Structure 1
Amino acid sequence: MQRSRGWATGWNLARIAVAVLIVVAVVAQFVSTLGEAVARGRDTTTVIANFFSFFTILSNVSAAVVLVLLGVRFLVRGRRLKVDPPALATVLAWVSTYMIVTGIVYNLLLRGLPLQPETVGWSNEILHVWGPLFLLLDVCLGPNRRRLRWTAALGAAVFPIAWIVYTLLRAPLVTNPTTGAPFWYPYPFLDPSTGGWGSVAGYIVVIAVAIVALAVGVVAIGRARGIRPH
């Protein structure tokens, strides 16, 4: 279903606004994290590397970039109601999937955990709730979505798999700058010292299946909305 030019303009302006909000949230959390590290004499190089090793941060930054590209492209090309190009449409489907997964995992597995002193509350909510919610709405309401092939959903698994491999290889080589433990895992469910490797493997399988399933859903919604290239 195509939307009016006014609707498309408003939504793309909202995309840019949300992208800016996400960037502000990431920067605020980064400044707070780095400031706490400096104040407590922690290894700032490790703290910075750890910060950008969170799936949440990577997903939000990627989503912000794609949202800005979509919004600016629409505006500078005369606000034409044409479907997004294949590459951009595919990446949009992927980052939408990652953001939705971020929201689900946080609110199901991590919501009850105590926050660190350096955590910025409003930033945390934007990155884990409001950003993912907007991307979910974008899947259902965003203009100019392209009907993608089903194979696009499989590509969504590449980045998470690469991130998991990177995380599990890096974690034992990093000294936790907060606790001094000889390892650092970004999320408790990836830490084998808490539940064993069986538990870690179980979470990885469930999350991987969820990512592919959600990606299929994102592609399916785009196809059902009947947005075809002209």
Structure 2
Amino acid sequence: MTTWWPYVRLAAAVLGLAAIIRQLTLSLGNALSSETAWGGHLPTVIANFFSYFTILSNVLAVIALVIGGLWMLRTRRTAEAEPAWLATLLACASTYMIVTGIVYNLLLRNIPLAGISDVWTNETLHVVIPLVMLADVLFAPRRRALPRGAMLTAVIFPIVWAAYTLIRANFITSPATGNPWWYPYPFLDPHLQGGYLGVIAYILGIAVAIIAVAAFVVWVGRRRGASR
């Protein structure tokens, strides 16, 4: 496994990057063909694209997989465990991608794509890459055992992202509808959830999921690191 796992990481990174580029291309195509000023405003469309938790998580996963794969190739003649910074990067990327897969399949799978994605892009970003990152947690060789407190590091980005999303939303005109607000996901939109109490309930539920998944990722890393 030590000999071929770097190539699994690198191949998954290429697939993830291709899906991100494909989805960005679709978003830009929609903007360029839009007949409204707000729908064709490219800076907003691009900023919105990189405001999706799914996209940011996949970008981080691609970076982590490339770095992790190249590190394994460079050090393939040794049996040393991955450095702590790489283990932390992989743990965070794995946590976000596993949560992305869970949230998508529980809350978002039946939402129409409406031209913002296609089937293979959607499944790659929400199912395939999350499964790869889960497999990386369970099977990738030379994992390092992180301290239990490392799971708190994984919580920082989702908190910042949620605050950014809720603050930014009311300063943006939705490219698709022209509404004077834009939320990346329906469960974050207070206009659809009966107010902010409904949104907060979803955020708390997802926060619990993130903490639980981060704890699981760190626990598995500690068990596998200890077994080495």
Shorter-chain TM-score range: over 0.9
What is the distance in 2 between the residues matched to 1:20 and 1:81?
26
Q: Which moved more, 1:121-130 or 1:78-87?
A: 78-87
Q: In structure 2, do the counterparts of structure 1 residues 10 and 227 end up closer, same or farther at CA, with 3 Å as the change threshold?
A: farther
The aligned amino acid for 1:153 is M
**Which of 69, 72, 90 is matched with 2:70 structurally?**
72
Q: Which residue of 2 aligns with 1:63?
A: 61
Q: How many residues align?
A: 223
Q: Given that residues 142 and 225 in structure 2 are in contact (C-alpha distance below 8 angstroms), is that contact kept between their aligned partners in structure 1?
A: no
The aligned amino acid for 2:81 is V
What is the distance in 1 between the residues matched to 2:147 and 2:22?
38
TM-score normalised by L of structure 2: 0.95
TM-score normalised by L of structure 1: 0.94
| Aligned counterparts, 1:76-95, within 5 A | 76-95=74-93
Q: Given that residues 49 and 55 in structure 2 are in contact (C-alpha distance below 8 angstroms), is that contact kept between their aligned partners in structure 1?
A: yes
- 2:136 counterpart of 1:142: no
| Aligned counterparts, 1:31-70, within 5 A | 31-41=25-35, 42-70=40-68
Q: Given that residues 183 and 189 in structure 2 are in contact (C-alpha distance below 8 angstroms), is that contact kept between their aligned partners in structure 1?
A: yes
What is the distance in 2 between the residues matched to 1:153 and 1:65?
19
Identical pairs, percent: 52
Q: Which residue of 2 aligns with 1:207?
A: 206
Q: Given that residues 83 and 228 in structure 1 are in contact (C-alpha distance below 8 angstroms), is that contact kept between their aligned partners in structure 2?
A: no
Give how far 1:32 is off. 1.2
In structure 1, runs of 5+ residues without a counterpart are 1-6
Q: Specify the SS of the correspondent of 2:4.
A: helix
Q: Which moved more, 1:77-86 or 1:209-218?
A: 77-86
CA deviation vs aligned residue, 1:83-106 (integer Å, no higher than 9, x gap): 110111011111100000000000
CA deviation vs aligned residue, 1:61-99 (integer Å, no higher than 9, x gap): 000001100111111234422111011101111110000
Q: In structure 2, do the counterparts of structure 1 residues 18 and 169 end up closer, same or farther at CA, with 3 Å as the change threshold?
A: same
What is the distance in 2 between the residues matched to 1:118 and 1:185?
14
The aligned amino acid for 2:178 is G
Q: Which residue of 1 aligns with 2:121?
A: 123
Q: In structure 2, do the counterparts of structure 1 residues 72 and 187 end up closer, same or farther at CA, with 3 Å as the change threshold?
A: same
Q: Given that residues 26 and 115 in structure 2 are in contact (C-alpha distance below 8 angstroms), is that contact kept between their aligned partners in structure 1?
A: no
What is the distance in 2 between the residues matched to 1:120 and 1:79?
42
Q: Which residue of 1 aligns with 2:100?
A: 102
Q: Which moved more, 1:131-140 or 1:38-47?
A: 38-47
Give how far 1:228 is off. 7.3
In structure 2, runs of 5+ residues without a counterpart are none
Runs of 4+ off more than 3 Å: 226-229
